Amino acid sequence: MMAAAFALLSFLTPSSAAQAPAAGQAGAGGQSGRGSLAAAHQPTPRLPDGTPNLGRVPGEKGVWDVWWVRNMADRIVGAAGGGDSTRGEAPVDLGSSDTSVRGGARSEPHVPFMPWSAAVYDYNSANVSKYDPEGYCLPPGGPRLMATPYPMEIIQLPEQKRIIMIFEGGTHVWREIYMDGRPHPQGDALNPTYLGHSVGRWEGDTLVVDVVGFNEESWIDYFGHPHTDMLHVVEKFSRPNKNTLHYEATIDDPGAYTKPWTVSWNINWSPNGELTEYICQENNRYLLRLRDDFGQPVFGNR
């Protein structure tokens, strides 16, 4: 019913049709390739030793076309309507305003909130993510790195026993995944950071990354699911064909959720894409205008 209504309204909307040429121009600009059928039928690229290649084939361009996963509760594996890999294609946002889809913790019975995390989530829902750290140009941590809509690349360095991931968005950050079998640092040697400490291993054709050591400055997603520094994330990266990166993350935070929950989505390969510069901190006027709940500036002179 809803879909039919949207389809009808889209049909009646001249400006929707007028956007189509703009999308075409984006493709001509060299950054298209989302959903390329040709690439979908190409096999998983591999390194000389047979390991899946999660990055570029030598001599070719290409980036992972990360799309905006705003609410990870919509991507929970095993929950009704969530986690289905066929939903990994970038959705077309028909222009719903944020407020129309923010039901808070009550609308997400499949997220194992604790009372305090439900309350924080309700607050972030009610103010439509006004205080999102990414809006301050602070980096995402954990799964949100793969949910912030700017391209990224995975660069495997097997001879160095590490993997580098570089992100155009999310404040232009990179992460390093140690593949040399080291454990996480223990005790105070583990310094809490935005991106945490990542160690990886291959399980068959799946890269499994174990991450701990997060600080509490980031949100799990744009919608504002909170986490604590007890957060432990296990990520799984696989490339079932050349065009598709399948991403899965188990969010285990005994400080905020009563049990682990797992989210997943697919990301498409953009075969002509390359990373460009994005320095979020340059001219962030949002910070200058941001007022707290009492009308005072959040940053700057008080």
Residue 185 CB, shortest distance to other proteins, in Å, is: 33
- Smaller CB separation from other proteins, 51 or 276: 276
Residue 183 CB, shortest distance to other proteins, in Å, is: 36
**How do 174-178 and 197-203 pair as beta strands?**
parallel
- Smaller CB separation from other proteins, 86 or 97: 97
- Smaller CB separation from other proteins, 30 or 81: 30
> Residue 162 gets which letter from DSSP?
E
Q: Where are the beta strands (DSSP E) in the chain?
A: 63-65, 152-157, 162-167, 174-178, 197-203, 206-212, 232-241, 244-252, 261-270
Distance CA 12, CA 8 (A): 6
Binding footprint of other proteins on the chain (CB under 8 A): 6, 9-10, 12-16, 18-19, 21-23, 25-26, 28-29, 31, 67-68, 90-95, 97-99, 127-130, 132, 134-135, 137, 148-150, 168-169, 276-286, 289
Residue 144 CB, shortest distance to other proteins, in Å, is: 12
Instruction: Give the residue from 74, 142, 83 showing the smallest Cα distance to 111.
Output: 74
Residue 169 CB, shortest distance to other proteins, in Å, is: 7
Residues 6+ apart with CB under 8 A from 244: 40, 88, 266, 267, 268, 269
- Residue type at 221? D
- Smaller CB separation from other proteins, 168 or 253: 168
Start-to-end CA span in the chain (Å): 50
- Smaller CB separation from other proteins, 203 or 294: 294
Residue 136 CB, shortest distance to other proteins, in Å, is: 8
